[in-house]
Structure 1
Amino acid sequence: MIGNRVRQSFMLIFIFAITALGLFQMFMRINGTIPSRYMLPLTVMFAVIVAVWVVLCTFQRYSSQLIFFCVILLSLIGITEIIRIDHENRTRGSGAINAGMNQIIWLIIALVICAALSILLRNYRLLRKFSYTSMVIGILLMFSPMVPGLGKTIGGARIWIGIGSHTVQPAEFAKLFIAVFFAGYLFDHRDQLAVGGRKFLRMRLPRLRDLGPILIVWALCMGVLVLQRDLGTSLLFFAMFVCMLYVSTGHSSWILIGLVFFGVSAAAASRLFGHVQNRITAWLHPFDDSVYTAVGGSEQLVKGIFGLSSGGTFGTGLGKGHPGITPLANSDFIFSSLGEELGLTGILAILSIYLIIIAAGIITALKIKDGFGKLLIAGLVFTMAFQVFIVVGGITLVIPLTGLTLPYMAAGGSSLTANMILAFIILIVSNDAHKPQDDKLTDTVAMEALEALQANEKRRALEEAIEERDQRDAAPRGRHVFTRDSHPAAGAEEVSEPAETREFPGMDAEERPAASEGDSPAATDSTASGISASGSPAPDTPAVSEEATEVIDLSGERKEEQ
């Protein structure tokens, strides 16, 4: 373990060295000196990263540290490029000029939140108990931009809420809560979803009552996102839904069903919504003059393509390109900016880092034995991977632009914080997946023992309540109850029959036979029915009427004897 920590510390030092070298090179090229206003924030940021790593090693010591280092490296590369774009915007007199400083502050905030999460959430299985609560929170977050006075429309999409002078995109956090709900619900109903439905064209479909709640949640999310004109996030939610459904059931038919639903939805959206049609037109005809000059046309896309292509194999170098020409170069098109200054080599290296995170997440999902954790990791990892594909595919003309941003690298506090929490949830689950068997068994046994004790207390309280109710119901009727404790003939070595209460129709309470001290319950019962213990008719025994006799046993059930 000590050797691993030493190697990890050297990896962290290497990441800091790469970042410092990139910042130094960039500042010397654009300024000739290092601005003093960045010294303190960068120092605090590096100190917070080290502190969070120590917390992670202490409270999640078996987690996959490689994921943490990759996420930090991507975030620092993004901050370096954002600071560089700020300088160009300041020179040109347009665009954001403090996005880099804001990104540093947001990274510090995100890391502090994640450190607290790794301390408080020691067992990720607790999230399963709040599945439906997560559903409600996720839906409220999705609806929040629609509240008058709270939501803001930026770039034609109403997906923001204003908090003072800052804006937050609640859909970034909603995807985490919806993923927890999907994982909890699909885990609880995995058997019904897998084998409980009918077969249609060799595909087994689930029953509607099993799939109904999750379809309702998905429909609500889709409706809100379409109304907010944010089709990128709606596509992300739909893909996460299909992926987790496939992992839960193991039926590849769900992928085909998802593709059919996606095709129908895309065709309908392209006809019903003008902004969707504009993006498809810009994707199909980006270099057409009428499309390029139109409002909301392909100008941004074409500038991003030319910027990406100008980087060549090794790029122009940090500080030597012109990424500020492309609109939203520090957020939606930061991939194009990085491609211009780092070239194809740098872009492939960045995509390889994403691939390492995805591979580590898949390994965690395969190693974890808990079904809820497997579904949760699969959904979160696929969400991040699909988001990277959508962004890179949109900039390279593989698919239409959707408005999503590159995780960990694009400017934006909401995206950075939400994706950092996503990564730390994967780390927390990986801690359980990579934990040695002895420690894992100890934690499992402790949880099972606690649940067993709680269930035993509930069962005992229920039995006491039932016993009190039976005694209360039997007392006013004047019935004699034979119990093992009250019967003098019940010895230590013999077990008496269950307590019985007998009624003798046609007889008053004074005429009913009573058991003497020496009689056993069997003898008393025989006498009461007119038969002696030896099998002969008992003398002077009143005749029992032909009507039914009620027998009430300890469980309170009534039987009819003729």
Structure 2
Amino acid sequence: QMMYSAIGIAMLVAVLLLLKDHRVLQRYTYISMMAALVLLLLPLVPGLGSAVYGAKIWINVAGFSIQPGEFAKIVLAVFFSGYLMVKRDALALASRRFMGLYLPRGRDLGPILTIWAVSLLILVFENDLGTSLLFFGMFVIMLYVATERTSWIVMGLLMSVAGAVGVASFAGHVQARVDAWADPFSCAEKVAACDQMTQVLMSFGSGGILGTGLGQGNSDLIGFAANSDFIFATVGEELGLTGVMVFLLLYGLIIERGIRTSLAARDPFGKLLAMGLSGAFALQIFVVAGGVMGLIPLTGMTMPFLAYGGSSVIANWALIGILIRISDTARRPAPSPAPNPDAEMTQVVRP
């Protein structure tokens, strides 16, 4: 993990050295779309992808396990930023008002329906609820920021719930996660996901306010995922509620600085990109922490900078690097306006 952290910091430095201006990324809007699709489809390639607990989110390369979805979120943020910057005026137009909401025009529903369909395909074929939620949620957040229409948020939430319920009705892996979320103690002896969830909840309970002490918990009862998917339960047991709140506050500071960077950016592409990256980071925290604490069904995503895994560490350091570059560009002095020769000639000729 120290090696992965070193590589991640090197990635941060590389981003700052090579990416002199974040606006360069706008040129690769549609190339980013193709790259993201390739990354998301790699786990489905026979002989390359591998399934863990039913979720096909990993690929094996030269003996290393890589999670392409961690890098896809950054590439997707670039694509969404470039696309929405061009289409935001059309998407902001409303057709009619319904229950206090201005509904978008029918012709403008294509983008969100397409992204919704792709996210459902990820959920169906890869059994990956986490990436599906992150993918679609990031797009809805950026769509709202670009258009300032609350109707997109409401529509996105309704579509997410409808899609998740529809897939859970025939996908056994997703249904097991839903059962483990609804009442894990009733199926703990029959379903492995329920048994894990009961151990996670008891880990939080035994931690109390200050925890059992660093390294003094019983995370081995959760299983091998205690260092990855369920690392937040280990924190809750060993560091207690105090440690959990410290980590959530640190994550909150990163998200707050990302949003401030978005507000400070002078160009629309930078605003959308900073908000998209911050939103993706926040969604990942919510999906993982909410799943572990029983707020939403559990997913297979990793807690940024905390869970074991090289893909997440490297990708999130790159994400921080892009935010730093946008922040640096936003805080540079604005270029002075070019001199107007006509105005100078007028001042000279005037008596």
Calculate the TM-score normalised by the size of structure 1: 0.57
Quote how far apart the aligned CAs of 1:427 are: 1.0
Deviation per CA, 1:408-429: give whole Å up to 9, x if none: 1000111111111111111111
Deviation per CA, 1:90-138: give whole Å up to 9, x if none: xxxxxxxxxxxxx111111111122111101010000111000000000
Equivalent of 1:316 in 207, 212, 218: 212
Equivalent of 1:203 in 102, 117, 120: 102
- Secondary structure at 2:65's aligned position in 1? strand
**Aligned AA (1:266):** A
**Aligned AA (2:202):** F
Higher-helix-fraction structure: 2
Equivalent of 1:151 in 49, 57, 71: 49
Mapped partners of 2:245, 2:302: distance in 1: 18
Quote how far apart the aligned CAs of 1:207 are: 5.4
Show the counterpart of 1:88: none
Matches within 5 A, 1:148-297: 148-195=46-93, 198-199=95-96, 201=98, 202-206=101-105, 208=107, 212=110, 215-288=113-186, 291-297=187-193
- Secondary structure at 2:85's aligned position in 1? helix
Equivalent of 2:329 in 419, 428, 432: 432
Mapped partners of 1:239, 1:148: distance in 2: 29
**Aligned AA (1:162):** N
**Aligned AA (1:205):** P
- Secondary structure at 1:159's aligned position in 2? strand
Mapped partners of 1:132, 1:422: distance in 2: 19
Matches within 5 A, 1:54-453: 103-195=1-93, 198-199=95-96, 201=98, 202-206=101-105, 208=107, 212=110, 215-288=113-186, 291-327=187-223, 328-435=225-332, 437=333, 440-441=334-335
Whether the 8 Å CA contact 1:139–1:221 is kept in 2: the answer is no
Deviation per CA, 1:244-274: give whole Å up to 9, x if none: 1100000111111112211211221121211
Mapped partners of 2:25, 2:123: distance in 1: 25
- Secondary structure at 2:60's aligned position in 1? strand
**Aligned AA (2:288):** V
**Aligned AA (1:441):** P
Whether the 8 Å CA contact 2:116–2:159 is kept in 1: the answer is no
Whether the 8 Å CA contact 2:229–2:301 is kept in 1: the answer is yes
Stretches of structure 1 lacking an aligned partner (at least 5 in a row): 1-102, 446-562
Whether the 8 Å CA contact 1:198–1:206 is kept in 2: the answer is yes
Query: Once the two structures are aligned, what percentage of the paired residues are identical?
Result: 44
Q: Which runs of 4+ in 1 moved over 4 A?
A: none
Stretches of structure 2 lacking an aligned partner (at least 5 in a row): 339-351
Task: Name the count of aligned residue pairs.
Answer: 335
Mapped partners of 1:260, 1:425: distance in 2: 32
Quote how far apart the aligned CAs of 1:222 are: 3.3
Bigger RCO (CA 8 Å, 6+ sep): 2
Q: CA RMSD in A?
A: 1.8
**Aligned AA (1:302):** T
Whether the 8 Å CA contact 2:50–2:59 is kept in 1: the answer is yes
Mapped partners of 1:387, 1:160: distance in 2: 17
- Return closer, same or farther for 1:263/1:224 CA change in 2, 3 Å cut-off: closer
**Aligned AA (1:182):** F
Deviation per CA, 1:176-223: give whole Å up to 9, x if none: 11111011000011111112x522525241453x55356435533431
**Aligned AA (1:324):** D
- Return closer, same or farther for 1:418/1:324 CA change in 2, 3 Å cut-off: same
Mapped partners of 2:207, 2:193: distance in 1: 24
